Structure 1
Amino acid sequence: MSLYEIAFAGQLVAGAESEQVKANLARLFQADAQRIALLFSGRRIVIKTNLDQAGAEKYRTTLERAGAVAIVRALDLPVADAPPSPSATATAAVAPVASPALAASPPDTAPKGASSKVIPRDEYMAAFVDVEAPDFGIAPVGVDLQDAKPDAAPPPVDLSQFSLAPVGSDMGQIKQAPAAPAPDTSHLKLQ
């Protein structure tokens, strides 16, 4: 079982009037005119994410009755996995829904190793639509990712001019002055 997301890109059902659809969506989402205008900006805006198939179909039919064409996409994360974090949901690749009843865009047919097209999840991410993201893979667990470096050869240093001094010999340390004699305290008494 997969999870789905519902998005809207400003497309209307055939024969629907723009002003009526805007009024229907404002009533449906209980949103002001500014938010509704954002929905009709032409960018793909994610309305709801992490829905099961029944919930996604319910959203799609409700939006269709309001006159808006909803985009339903299946997230690649199965329900058995841990719930996705917001960052994982933002970076998760999406694939179109296989059911013909659900409206979805065609699958990405780019060859492996080609760049992926970034699909914005909201108005903030729309700025990154034209970013070319390379399709990097993930290395298996435990693989060393750093390139092997050859062992460094020791530098050629000539030490033949040095020798060892015999044990106990003076190595040129500064001699300390002899300690001063202890003061005479024989005339002092404790009472």
Structure 2
Amino acid sequence: MIEGQYDVIFRGQIVKSFELSDVKANLVKLFKSTPEAVERLFSGSEVTIRKGLDYAAAMKYQSALRNAGALALIKEVEAEKESPPPIQEIKKTATTSNIDSSNTTPADRRDTTESQSIRASNPEAADDSEGLTMAQVGAQILPPKVYEQRDVDTSDLSLAKAGERILPEKEPEKHAQPSIDHLSLTDN
């Protein structure tokens, strides 16, 4: 399951096959609201429909809006980062060592010392390293990107057949012949 909080955003865009009046009527029914309230959604600015949903609920809202003819986006809410611990705690963690040097090789001690120095320089890494897990091979670990649908008119474009000349034929350029009467060949 995808973790995090998501907002459902609407920018007034509709599905290409729907008419604007039909979409507005569908949204009045969907939200059980008034036409005036739905009209405010089409102001041209970004309107948040729902805030702080889990990913599955946000997808349900997006799907319901799409069925009504409205194109909605899902944005991940950025969680507030915790403040780093005081410097005294970082120094204490870096200097405290619970390594039994009699049973370790120099390489083991170096690896442990390096990991402690990494934790000391990056306290977030120290907090995250204790709860690390691995996903199954091929598992989706990031939410899929949501792209805005663009309305691009391609009706004027066509494809040429293989070997067909694409550019129009050009007439050969005509240049004046240079006069070479004054030139001669001599043996030296």
TM-score by length of 2: 0.43
- Larger radius of gyration between Structure 1 and Structure 2: 1
